[in-house]
Amino acid sequence: MSRRIRVLVAKPGLDGHDRGARVIARALRDAGMEVVYTGLHQTPEQVVEAAIQEDVDVVGLSILSGAHMTLFPRIKQLLAENGADDIMVMGGGTIPEEDVKELKEGGWTEEIFTPGTTIEDIVAWINSNVKVD
């Protein structure tokens, strides 16, 4: 039997909109994953440190402050610098369509879920994209 998928739900940036992050964290736990939630106001360094320390398969970033174009690349870079580029990065929040395109094309995130996405969709995406031994 394969081990359970480990997810870090992280809330970078200065805003306090954690409704989405907490709903997702709980839903992923209910879907059988191991979930760690960082709490609010995390710096990219703190997010990456937690991801490595908790040995997660995927990091979910919830960003509603408009700082996504800065935060996604920074976190991807830090993961790579720390030899952890096997950790996938997904995200959600108020992220305009053209920014989603730019972030995905730049390789700064594997997937972005915009408002209206169901929990089932997110669970299905993780299950089919995250490979656990």
Partner 1 sequence: MCDKLPEIQQDRDKWQEKRSKLKDRDFKFETVSSMPVNDLYTPLDIPDFDHARDLGMPGSYPYTRGVQPNMYRGRFWTMRQFAGFATARESNERYKYLLSKGQTGLSVAFDMPTIMGYDSDHPRALGEVGRVGVAIDSLQDMETLFDGIPLDKVSTSMTTNAPASILWCMYIATGEKQGVPSEKLTGTIQNDILKEYIAQKSWIYPPEPSMRLITNIFEYACKHVPKWNTVSISGYHIREAGSTAVQELAFTLADGFAYVEAGMAAGLNVDDFAPRLSFFFNAHIDFFEEIAKYRAARRIWARRMKEKYGAKDPKSWLLRFHTQTAGCSLTAQQPENNIVRTAYEAMGAVLGGTQSLHTNSMDEVLALPTEKAVQIALRTQQIIAYETGVPNVIDPLAGSYYVEALTNKMEEEAEKYFAEIERRGGVLASIDQNFFQQEIADAAYHFQRAVDKKQRIVVGVNEFVNENESVDIDILKIDPQIELDQVARVQKLRQERDNNRVNGALEALRNAAQGTDNMIPFILDSVRAYATQGEIVQVLREVFGEYKEKPIF
Residues that bind partner 1 (CB under 8 A): 9, 13-19, 21-23, 25-27, 29, 35, 37-41, 43, 65-67, 69-71, 94, 96-97, 114-116, 118-120
Cβ proximity to partner 1, 120 vs 131, nearer residue: 120
Cα-Cα-Cα-Cα torsion 107, 110, 113, 118, nearest 10 degrees, comes to 170
CB of 132 to partner 1, least distance (A): 22
Cβ proximity to partner 1, 1 vs 79, nearer residue: 79
CB of 1 to partner 1, least distance (A): 26
CB of 52 to partner 1, least distance (A): 19
CA 110 vs CA 2, 15, 88, 89, 123: distances in Å: 23, 23, 6, 6, 14
